Structure 1
Amino acid sequence: MQKLYLVRHGESEWNNLKRIQGQKDTFLTFKGEKQAEKIANRLVSEEIDIIYSSDLKRANETANIIGEKLNLQVTPSEAFREIKFGSWEGLSTEELTEKNSEEHFIWLNQPHNFKMDGAETLYEVQKRAMNKIDSILKSNPNKNILVVSHGATIKTIILGYVGIDLKYYNRMTLNNTSLSIIEFRDRNNVIKLLNDTCHLEEDKYE
């Protein structure tokens, strides 16, 4: 049974500062690097054959830490980048609320209807990400694939492969270095695991 493993990147500098990242290139924090090491240790017991990642640093760094542990090369791809937020990128959450209250309200409450000049829609993100995964799966039958990407992108992938409308996008959350797994079964696709962070449990005591 073929599986798709989806990992969100570790904590980044702008995650820590609560700034909108989108496709801005930010690095992992020290905590993010440690989170990546922990998910890497978690994945040793899984049968992963191929690793892809977003080409943005925070995701690619996370993927390379995993790849080193699993002795697998990482292939970066623009297709797995985070949603492009245009003029929002770099703003703090407070600034976003003050300057873009109407668009922000739509993003929080009806994200599938979000449309702004210079930004991507969720449908555009889902299309580019799933087209790439479809191509990878077709070229690698019976291989298990790991994709290290970003919160919004991973959520659109999960919803797409199990046939759930993007209007339910905001009913899901994904933590840094969370693991989600989709199984491709004969009759349908199944979410085997969602937003699992058991490998980070010790953080509570650090």
Structure 2
Amino acid sequence: MTKLYLIRHGQTKWNTESRAQGSINVALSKEGRYQATLLANRMKNYEIDCIYSSDLDRAYETAVILGEKLNTEVKKISGLREMSFGEWEGLTHENIKKNYLEHYTVWRSKPHEANIPGGEKLIDVQKRGLETINDIITENKGKNIMVVSHGVTIKSIILGIMDIDLSNFYKIRQDNTCVNLIEYRDYGPVIVTLNDTAHLENIK
């Protein structure tokens, strides 16, 4: 059986400032590196055969912290990167709401219909995300795989795997360094855990 550990990157300063990061490179914060270290200490108890990561710094840095603890090399894949938010990148949610109210309203109420200026559509993010995950699964059948990516990308992938419409995008939560375990059984994929952050429970 193939196991996929789908993990969101650690916290960044922009996460705490509620800024749209998208395809911009933003490094992990001190807190984000600590979160990744706690996750690495947890995951060392699991048998992981390979690690893949988005090529954006916040995901790759998280993956490297995990890889060092697990003594496993990290492979970068651009198909795992976050959704591009176009003109919104770098702006706070309040600034986006103020300057792009019409587009923001659609994004928050009907994300599957949103057409963010200069950005990607959610369906395109899901398409490339699923294609990338399927390629990884095909290449590593029977292995335990770790993939480090981003909130929007992961949620769209999970909805695709579960064959749930993208209109349900906001019904899934993805916290920093959360773990989603998906088992690929002979009758199809099964979601075992979702948004698991047990390793962060003792953080004050």
Name the TM-score, length of structure 2 as normaliser: 0.97
Q: Which whole-Å CA distance do the structure 1 matches of 2:202 and 2:85 have between them? A: 33
Contact 1:22 1:83 in 2 (8 A): yes
Structure 1: how far apart are the matches of 2:29 and 2:65?
A: 14
Measured in 1, the distance between the counterparts of 2:163 and 2:48 equals 24
Q: Please give the secondary structure, in 2, of the residue aligned with 1:167.
A: helix
Query: 1:14 Cα shift?
Result: 0.8
Distance in 1, Cα, partners of 2:183 & 2:164:
15
Equivalent position of 2:139 in the other structure? 139
Aligned to 2:115: 115
Aligned counterparts of 1:96 and 1:168: Cα–Cα separation in 2:
22
Paired residue for 1:4?
Answer: 4
Structure 1, unmatched stretches of 5+, are: none
CA RMSD in angstroms, aligned pairs only: 1.0
2:89 — aligned with what?
Answer: 89
Instruction: Look up the match of 2:198.
Output: 198
Match of 1:166 in 2: 166
Native 8 Å contact 1:158 1:182 kept in 2: no
Match of residue 100 from structure 1: 100
* Bigger shift: residues 82-91 or 107-116: 107-116
Contact kept? 1:3, 1:183, Cα under 8 Å: yes
1:51/1:147 contact within 8 Å kept = yes
Is the partner of 1:174 in helix, strand or coil? Answer: coil
SS at match of 2:187: coil
1:92 is aligned with what amino acid? T
Aligned match of 1:60: 60
Residue 76 of structure 1 is matched in structure 2 by 76
Aligned residues: 204
- Helix, strand or coil: the match of 2:203? helix
The alignment's TM-score, normalised by the length of structure 1, stands at 0.96
Name the residue aligned to 2:183.
Answer: 183
Q: Does 1:157 align with 2:137?
A: no
Aligned-residue offset at 1:188 = 2.5
* SS of match in other structure, 1:64: helix
Identity %: 48
Contact 1:10/1:177 (<8 A) preserved = yes
Give the AA of the match of 2:54.
S
Within 2, Cα distance between the matches of 1:102 and 1:78? Answer: 30
Aligned to 2:19: 19
Q: CA deviation at 1:117?
A: 3.5
Q: Deviations over 1:121-153 (max 9, x none)?
A: 111111111111111211221112111000000
